Structures are given as C-alpha cells and as structure tokens.
Amino acid sequence: MPANLRPRSASCTEQPVIALGPEGPFPRVRLRRVLERRWLHYAFLSRDHALGMVANVAWLGPGLEAGDAAPRCTAILLVHKRGEGWCASQFNTITSTPLWSAFQQPHAPRMPGPLTLTSTSASPAVDLQLARSSRPCTSQCAWFAPDQHLRWQSETGVIARGRWTFQDQIFDNVEAIGYHERVRGYWGWPELGGWVFGFANDPGGARDQAPPAAFVFTLIQPRGPGDTAAGSVMVWRNGRLRRHFPRRCVTFAVRGQLQRDKVQQVPALSKLFGVPPMEPIPQQLMISARMGDDWVTYDYHCDAAARVVIPSETSLRSFSVHEVIGPVHVEGCISGEHFAFDTYGIVEFAGGADDG
Amino acid sequence: MTVDTAAQLLKATVDELSRRAPAVIAAAADQLRGIILGLHFGDGSRSELRADHSRLVVTGPNGETPHVEVYFDDRAMNLLFDLERKPVDQVWSQSLDVRGDRQQVLAVWRTFQVLSQRGSGLRAVQSLWRGYRDRNPQRWGQPAELPVDTRSRNPQHASNTGWHALDYLDHRYAQDIAKASSTVGGAVYTDARSLWDGYESKPWWQFADVVDTDLMETMQACKDRVSREFQRIVPDREPKAELYDLMREYPAREGKGLRPTLTIATCCALGGRDEDAVRAAAAVELFHNGFLVHDDIADESTHRRNEPTLHEAHGIGLAVNTGDAMNLLAVDAVLSNLPTLGLARTLGLIHEIMHMCRETVEGQAIELGWIRHLTVPKTDQDYFDMSTKKTGWYTCISPCRLGAICAGETDPGKLDLFTEAFRLIGIAFQIQDDVLNLLGDEVLYGKEPLGDLLEGKRTVMMIHLFREIAPKRRPRLLDIIRLSRTEKRFADAEEILAAMHEVGSIEYAVKVADRLAHEGVRRFEEDLAFVPENEAKALLRQIANYVTTRPL
C-alpha cells in the first residue's frame, strides 16, 4: 500500500510534549498535534543538467476531530526539463513503500535502493535506484515563535539511476546526483515566515563515488525579529562533512528579479483558487561563508522556477515554495585545500503565508 | 544631439526623462512651479530651467532675470548625478554657489532631488551621463572618500570581490547584471540587497519599491511582444491578399502601443506574468483595429498612421470584411486563454470585452448621431461622456481591467478602482489628440492635417467655439460643418480653425485636458494605492503622467 494511504492508527490521548523537538528516537516518534510535521525531501539533477526533479512527502499531525488521530500524508513530485518547463503532480503522488531514506532504513554506502514516485495521471513519474555516497550532517534546529521549531538533517551526494517521465516523454537510465533531507517540527506557516535553501554537488569525480565537493545552505527567516533567523552553510569533501559554517559566519545577498514568465505555478488545481499573486523571485543569489582561514562562496543565477502553492492551515494566504533551477559557481578553501566547480543547483525560496 | 557641455547634458536629461519617465518631470515641475532657475556650469555653459504646466523647459539664457541662480564648478556635477554614490557623499566645500530667496532655493533643491533621485535609476539616463563623464573626465570631480569598511575580508578574496555577499554582488557585477529580456521589468537598475549579514535578516520577498521606470523602452517591448502574438493568431492560409495579409499589415503600422502596455503592465503589477496578459492584449488590439477600419469608413478618413486608410487602398467592401474578421479573430484570441488562465478568468475576460465593445459602439453611435443630425453638443460633459464611451473604454479603461483579470483579480470593487483614474486620463488623452490634429505635424500625428475639421468631428474646441462665438457668425460656421466631407474644402477647415484661435478654443481645450490629466493622476495615486510599488506599477504611473507632460 502506498505510504500516503497508510491506515489510520488508534487515537492518541497522551498530552504532547514539545519543547525543542519531539522525544527521541527522532524518526519513529508519533505526530501528536495538528501542526506537527514530518517530511522526506528529495531533489536531483541529471548529470547533463537537462532534467531535474523535486519531491516532498509530508505528514501532518492528526486533526482535532474525534477519531482523527492518524497523520495525513501528502506527496508532490515535480520534474523539470530544460527548455520545456515543469511537469507537476497534485498533492497525491503515489509513493513506494517504504520510502527510500538512509535515515529510516540505514544501509551501506553505494547499496542501491528503490524510490518510485508516480503522479496519479502517470506523468510526471520517477522510478529510481538511489545510493548514498556521503554522510549526513548532524541534525539542526531552528526555533521560532514560543513553541515552534523546525529540525532538519541533510544528506548530499545521493546517486540516482533510473527512469524519468516528463509529460509524454520517457527517459531511461538517467544518471543523476542530488540531495535527501528529513524534516521534523511543529510550526504554522505564518510564524515560520520563509526560507532560502539549496544545494550543489560538484559534478566531477567518479560516477559511483561521492562528489569531490558538495555545498548545502539554509536560511530560515521567521516572522519574529530580524536577528532570529537561522542559517548555516555546510561543505562536504569526498563524502564527508568538512565544515559547518554557523549563522554568524555566513552572509546572503540577492539581486534583480527573475522574469515572471519563467515561473510556473503548480499544482494545476491551485489555479482554480484565489491564490494571491506570487512574490518576485530574485534573479541572483550570492552566499559567502567564512570561518578562520576557511571560506566558501556560492554564486547562483536563477533560470527557471516552479511555484508550489501549499494551503496554510492557520492563515488565509497560501505558503509558496519556489523551486528554482539554475547555474552556480562554487568556490572555496577548506583546511588549505582550494576547490571550485561550476554546475547547476536547486534553490528554494519559500514564504508568503503571513497575513500580517 | 551631441552632448559636449553641461548645459547640453541637462537639456538632454530633461528630454530623455520627458519621453521615458514623465512622472519624474511632472513631479519636478510641481516643485519648481513659477521659478526661473539660472544655471552656470563650470565649463562656461549656461541654461535656464522653468516649469510650463507639468513640463520642464530648458533654454539658453534669454534675458530674463532668474529667481534663483546656481554656480557650479566641475566637481559639483557629481552632486547632481553620480552613478555610484549618494549625493550626500559628494558635497564639496565651495564647489557650489546658490543665490536667491530661501524658499525658492529650497524649491530648486527639491526639484533636483526629484530629478536625480528618481531619474538616476533609468538605464538610459545612466548611459547618457556615463557617456558625458567618459568624454569629459576633466570636468568631473573625483569622488569623495567613502568611509573605510572595517569589516575583515578574506585575504584571498578581497582583491576582486570583497568579502560579504553584498560586496561580492556589488563589485563583481558592478551596475547590475545584463538587462533581463522580460517585457515589463529590467529598465531600471536594482541594487543588490542583503538577506542575512550574520546579524540581521531581511525577508527575501521584501523588494524595495520601484517608483519610476522607462516608459519608452517598456512600451516598445510590450508592443513588440503583442505584435508577435498578433502575427501568430492571424491564420497563414488563403485568401491572403484579400484578407489575412490586410489583417497583418494594418496593425503593423506605426502606433504607440499604449493598450498592450496597459494590459501587460496591470497584469504584472498585480503579480501576474507577462505571458498571461499577451493574448488579452492582442485581442484588444484586434478589436481596436477592427473598429478603426470601420470608423475610417464612417468618417470618410483618407489617412491612418501616415498611410492611406484600408478602404482607400482596397475598397470599402474588402475593408468592411477585414474589420469584421478582426473582430471575430479577437474573440478567438480571448478564448485561447482557456488552457492557461482557466475558465473563471477567461469568462471574466469575455465579460469585460463585451462591456468594452458595447461602450465603444454606443459612443460611436452618439458621435455619428451628432454628425447626422447636424448638431453640436452644448456642454463639455456631453463630449466627455461620448469620448469615454467611444475611445476611453477600449483605449485606457478596459486594457487595465483586462490586465487585472489576467492576473487573477476579479473583484469588481478592485477593477472599478482602475476605471475613474483612467477615464479621466483617457478623456485628456483624446482632447490632446484632437488638439494635435489641429496643430500637430502630420508625420508625428499620422492623420491628415485638419482631418477632424474636414470630418466635422465634435471636439471640445468645436463645442467651445459654438458656445463662445458671436451669434451672428454662428450660421456661417454651421453651414460649413453641415457640408459633407467631400463637399468641404481645405479653406473651410482653415476658416473654422481661425475662428477657434480667435475665441481661444484651443487654449481652452489644452487647459481642460491639463485639468483632467492632473485629476486622473491624483486618482491614480489614491485609488490604486493597493497595487504594490513595483516596476509594472511604475510603468502605469508613467503612462498616467504622460498625458500631463505630452508636448502640444
């Protein structure tokens, strides 16, 4: 049975205990409150950068109604083909069970496991064999509002091989490299504010090995005071996390606006509702990080974007995650080793649910 | 125009801004009002600046004593405009001497603040000043020292980029990345901005307000975009020579591109995409051209956009048929929005288009009735009502409302907020067009000179003339306007024109247009305050102000 059609479990009467996260162990503890969330996130780019995909499987805590104790699962899949735009499912993508995740089913590096995501209309779809090549970062936590938080853990350098379906085109044996993340937290979209997140993998090196360098960043911008933002930049070298730059050591800047014609709104059903106008997406994103003698810069140009409209449970305005694909130049020096690479990366600009 | 002196640079700047950003000129003229400003530049050149209604006029010294005189040395040119630094960083002691009444000096200061701060973001203006600076480096002072940035920089990176992300963008991509090829947007420079500097977060979705943009450049881009769509819509099949070629050729004639710009800009201002508005804009253009073809037949016009009208060139039968086909194809263009905009918005567009067509044919009926029954309306209000119906809706009001619908705004209350501002602006625009037909250059205006008088068109000038002329002269003028177009001689039209000059009808019409335009701009700023201050709204603002600064 697909993961998002899991039968409801018995109702839960225990009082939630939520401070800076659920009681451990992290992946298995049950969702107890309405706004408690759990995600598994996947993002891949083919090695020739012609295809890209983003998928998110999300579980939301049980509803308030009596008997509504089971979490609700939604899954969306977006596939991008350069020059042709995005193809997206609704929030009812059919997923394989169990969902591939090194966090939930630990396994050895380079041992492939399946991940199948299929739109109910059969397109888009991906049927992949995923293999880890790198180690995940330690779990990170952003706190905002009195009792809300978001915890996430990233694993980069995930190698993917398999079949991609974009509209009526099928691409077999596509080699891709990407990113996997798990998220756990308790938040409402207006309080969360927004975030800027992204990654880039060095396309060099052997195809079944970890990328020589990988870059992951996060900037969470809650509604609260400006200094409550949480941000970090992480750099992997050959599969190992070599440097974690904390928020005081990183800077983010943007310039220009992406042409609106390059932004596609998904899922298709969102066009039927009164979705507010989209925010302009920056044209260029620059990140710099420095700690001691180590430094890294990330120079990203937005090329095409999909606006994923997500209904907000606690505000009238929907929350939008803009998945952006574009070329990037990453350069840095870690422990005296200089590295630089040019590739394509995926960035998320998310926000927009705040009424206020 | 060659720009070799500072005085020429000032004139070129004002000319560029008049064409590209009329709102800036109108705001500057509003500060200057009745003051005559004498400018003495460090290179020895001189000029005078004064306001004429909402226009700025730059001339050489003409003997009048200026109210305020400003003496610059070369270094002070940086004060007026600098590509990289804020004016406050450029003040040099004893580089500037200003003489005049204190209140008037302050007004002059505000005028230049408006010109430099609002005009300097335009790429075209930057290019003009950069060219002058590059050609005459000796007349340009060295920039003042900036405060030293004490933040630590990475030694390996400091030489070319600076350390912080903001510095990197500013240094590596000095003066912006290449202009985006979007239809609306990219005509002004945008500074890089920090999202997180290690201490302070600024949301990525909070962009700085853009108040002005380049009207000329963006209007051309919108026009080109809709022309491409237009060519795509018209079928590539027979009968070409008698139908489809005529449909392609006629709209391709030189026009301003006002309607497509209004539609696309309104859509973008409300968060829509250029692409979403293009088909609606093409539909309005098709309707407009269909109406023009029929209108020219009804008015017996001989020229349109500097070329013979369609019925003159191809006969009335083919012209009527081509006009009908344009109207039919326009419906097709509206319906083609279904797959992209969805049912609700497409139905909203159809409803709006139906309303626009009804207003237009009613307006045409009123005007043709005046001509057929040989009457001249008594009041200006009669003309305003007819003009709003005949041209106001499809020229200004409906394009905006259609653009808003394309963006997903279907609330009638919000749509109505576009109506009053653009109704007033539309009437002012039409009156100015009527004045230009009497006074303007045929090449610039595109219709035959005095064509409106030959057609017997009831304009504000005509209404004023019949209201003000001595009763004993009225029968003679009535006899002239009762003549059909073919019976009327050019000398008859000139006789009416002379009478209009005599009673001040043209000056009166200019004043009426000016009053309506200002009222329209005021309503624009008040009624449309709900629209975010982005580059697309800045474009709408320029169009609204274009009417106030249009050279007559």
Q: Which residue among B157, B165, B408 sits closest to A251, beta carbon to beta carbon?
A: B165
* Cα distance between the two ends of chain A: 41
Give the range of the structural domain holding residue B35, as residue numbers without chain letter: 6-139
Q: How far is B170 from chain A (nearest CA, A)?
A: 9
What are A142's strand-pairing partners?
Answer: A150
- Taking CA–CA distances from A229, the nearest residue in chain B reads B201
Q: For position A162, what pLDDT does the model report?
A: 96
pLDDT in tens, B52-94: 888 899 998 887 889 999 887 766 666 665 555 555 555 566 6
Best interface-test mutation with B: which of A258, A259, A264, A291 has the largest number of B CBs within 10 A?
A259
User: If pLDDT is split at 50, 70 and 90, which confidence band does B150 have?
Assistant: very low
Distance CA A97, CA A80 (A): 24
- Is residue B170 a part of any domain in this protein? no
For residues A157 and A177, what is the distance between their CA atoms, to the nearest angstrom? 6
List CB contacts (< 8 A) between A287 and chain B: 165
Chain A residues within an 8 Å CB radius of B157 = 295, 297
Calculate the alpha carbon distances from B464 to A165, B294, B515 in Å: 71, 28, 16
**Hey, is the C-beta of B271 within 8 angstroms of any chain A C-beta?**
yes
Is residue B174 in some structural domain? no
Interface residue of B195, B276, B337, B537 to substitute, partner A, most A CBs within 10 Å: B195
Which residues of B fall within a CB distance of 8 Å from A228?
Answer: 201
Compute how many other C-beta atoms are within 10 angstroms of the C-beta atom of residue A278.
Answer: 19
Domain count along chain B: 2
Cβ count within 10 A of residue B475: 8
Provide the token pair at A275: 């979705």
pLDDT for B139 beyond 80:
no
Mutate: best of B172, B201, B341, B530, partner A, most A CBs <10 A: B201
| B228 contact A CB<8A | no
For chain A, positions 255-284, list CB contacts with chain B under 8 A.
255-257, 259-261, 263, 271-272, 274-280, 282-284
How many residue contacts between A and B have a Cβ separation below 8 Å?
144
Q: How many residues does chain B have?
A: 552
Q: How many Cβ atoms sit within 10 Å of the Cβ of residue A209? A: 15
B117 CA: distance to closest CA in chain A (Å): 19
What is the arithmetic mean of pLDDT over B353-366? 94
DSSP string, B63-129: SPPPSEEEEE-GGGHHHH--SSS-GGGG--TTSEEEEE-HHHHHHHHHHHHHHHHHHTTBHHHHHHH
Residues B135 and B273 in one domain: no
Rounded Cα gap, residues B53 and B423, in angstroms: 21
pLDDT digits (tens, 9 = 90+) for B235-286: 888 998 899 988 888 777 767 788 999 999 999 999 888 889 999 999 999 9
pLDDT-wise least confident of A280-289, B154-163, B186-195? B154-163
Using DSSP's 3-state secondary structure scheme, residue B477 falls into helix
If DSSP codes are grouped into helix, strand and coil, which group holds residue B2?
coil
Domain ranges of chain A: 3-9+31-351
| Residues 30-89 (B) with a CB less than 8 A from some CB of A | none
Torsion sign (Cα): A322, A323, A327, A330? positive
Does residue A139 sit at the B interface (CB-CB below 8 Å)? no
Contacts 24+ apart (CB under 8 A), A29-34: A30/A71, A31/A59, A31/A60, A31/A61, A31/A62, A31/A71, A32/A61, A32/A62, A33/A61, A33/A62, A33/A186, A34/A60, A34/A61, A34/A62, A34/A63, A34/A64, A34/A313
Inter-chain residue contact B166 with A229, CB threshold 8 Å: no
Which B positions 141-200 lie with beta carbon below 8 A of chain A? 154, 156-157, 161, 163-166, 168-169, 172-173, 176-177, 180-182, 185-186, 190-200
Nearest C-alpha of chain A: how many angstroms from B524?
21
pLDDT in the model for residue A21: 56
**Chain B residue with minimum CA distance to A232:** B198
Interface touch B169/A283, C-beta < 8 Å:
no
Among A82-96, B48-62, B92-106, B220-234, the range with the most confident prediction by mean pLDDT is A82-96
Q: Please check the confidence at residue B209 and state whether its pLDDT lies above 60.
A: yes
Looking only at the bridges linking them, the beta strands covering A85-88 and A94-95 are unpaired
Predicted confidence (pLDDT) per residue in B403-449, tens digit = 999 998 888 899 999 999 999 999 999 998 888 888 766 555 555 67
Cβ of B195 within 8 Å of Cβ of A254? The answer is yes
pLDDT band at A213; cut points 50, 70, 90: very high
CA distance B262 to A32: 52
Min Cα–Cα distance to chain B from A229, Å: 6
What whole-number distance in Å separates Cα of residue B500 and Cα of residue B468?
9
Cβ atoms of B434 and B461 closer than 8 Å? yes
Residue A12 clears pLDDT 50, i.e. is over it? no
pLDDT at A98: 87
| Residue B125 sits in the same domain as residue B234 | no
Of B310, B317, B314, the closest CA to residue B292 belongs to B310
Q: Would you say residue B155 has pLDDT above 80?
A: no
Residue B315 sits at the chain A interface (C-beta within 8 Å): no
Tokens of B492: 């008859």
Residue type, B140: W
Same domain, B252 and B124: no
Q: How far apart are CA B201 and CA B224, in angstroms?
A: 40
Taking CB atoms and an 8 Å limit, are A247 and B198 in contact across chains?
yes
| Residue owning tokens 């060295």 | B142
The complex's ipTM? Answer: 0.89
Residue B295, CB-side half-sphere exposure with 13 Å CA sphere: 19
CB pair distance less than 8 Å for B196 and A275: no
Please list the residues that pair with A186 across neighbouring strands: A36, A149
| A231, A248, A280: residue with CB nearest B207 | A280
Any idea what the CATH number is for the domain that residue B277 is in? 1.10.600.10
Give the closest of A253, A278, A301 to B165, CB-based: A253
Inter-chain residue contact A288 with B165, CB threshold 8 Å: yes
Q: Does A291 touch chain B (CB under 8 A)?
A: no
Rounded to a whole number, what is the distance in Å from the CA of A254 to chain B's nearest CA? 6
Alpha helices in A37-98 (DSSP H): none
Whether B163 sits inside 8 A of A221 (CB atoms) is no
How many other CB atoms sit within 10 Å of the CB of residue A180? 25
Q: For A102-134, what is each residue's pLDDT tens digit?
A: 887 777 778 899 999 999 999 999 999 999 999
Residues of chain B in contact with residue A319, where contact means CB-CB under 8 angstroms, are: none
Q: What confidence tens digit (pLDDT) does each residue in A170-196 have?
A: 999 999 999 999 999 999 999 999 999
Together in a domain, B119 and B255: no
CA–centroid distance for B270 within its chain:
19
Place of tokens 């960043």: A217
pLDDT digits (tens, 9 = 90+) for A42-66: 999 999 999 999 999 999 988 766 6
A255:B169 CB<8 A: yes
Say yes or no: A107 contacts chain B, CB-CB below 8 A.
no
Taking all residues of chain A, what is their mean pLDDT, rounded to a whole number? 87
CA distance B417 to B429: 19
Q: What percent of chain B has pLDDT over 70?
A: 86
Residues B119 and B228 both lie in one domain: no
What are the DSSP E strand ranges found in B134-292?
A: 193-196
| Interchain contact A252–B (C-beta under 8 A) | yes
CB contact under 8 A, B272 and A251: no
Report residue B386 as tokens: 């007819």
Buried b (16+ CB within 10 A) or exposed e, B401-414: bbbbbbbbbbeeeb
Is B182 within 8 Å of A349 when comparing Cβ atoms?
Answer: no
Place of tokens 């989209």: A278
B214: left (phi over 0), alpha (psi -120 to 50) or beta: beta
Alpha carbon distance A221, B203 (integer Å): 6
Residues B371 and B498 in one domain: yes
The pLDDT assigned to B162 comes to 47
Structure tokens at B168: 């990197």
We report the CATH number of the domain holding residue B130 as: 3.30.1050
Cβ contact (<8 Å) for B180 and A283? yes
- The CA distance from A141 to the nearest CA of chain B, in Å, is 17
B205 contact residues in A (CB cutoff 8 A): 194, 279-280, 349, 351-352
Distances (CA, A) of B483 to B45, B140, B478: 56, 64, 9
Pull the structure tokens for residue B326: 């344009």
Q: List the single residue in A256, A261, A274 with the smallest CB-CB distance to B177.
A: A256
Give the tens place of pLDDT for each residue, B222-244. Answer: 999 998 888 888 888 899 889 99
Whether A353 contacts A227, CB under 8 Å: no
Instruction: Note whether B368 and B461 are same-domain residues.
Output: yes
Nearest Cα to Cα of residue B403 among B335, B354, B348, B363? B348
